[in-house]
Amino acid sequence: TYTDIKPVREACGTAYLAVLKSIDAYLLKKGMDEKKLPQSVDSYREMLRKYLSAHDGKLLREFDKLYRLLHIAGYYRGLLEDVTVVKDALKAAKNFIEKIP
């Protein structure tokens, strides 16, 4: 159990941002104008549906899980205290990023 939640919140926020940046990089590589990159979680969901749907919605489900786990529970609410849960969440973020072509 982590006793100091602040570094955990920072790690979760950073990992979630890395997930978003991986999607941004993919969209830019596909020719999207930087000014048209998603600005909200709903916009990211739409871009995943539109450009990365070849994975039968699996990436979208993983993105939703990471949004809830890293951004909401880990960063925003600071609810993640268990070491194993945090490690698994960070590993899931890494795996998601590696799946983005």
Provide the mean pLDDT of the chain.
94
Q: pLDDT tens digits, residue range 59-79?
A: 999 999 999 999 999 999 989
Instruction: Flag whether pLDDT at 54 surpasses 70.
Output: no
Kindly state the average pLDDT of the residues 11-33. 97
Give me the pLDDT at residue 56, please: 66
Strands (E), the chain: none
**Backbone dihedral region of 13: left (phi > 0), alpha (psi from -120 to 50 degrees) or beta?**
alpha
Residue 33 in this model has a pLDDT that exceeds 70: yes
C-alpha span between 58 and 73 (Å, rounded): 21
For residue 23, the model assigns a pLDDT of 97
CA angle, residues 85, 89, 94, in degrees to nearest 5: 150
The CA radius of gyration of the chain, in Å to the nearest whole number, is 14
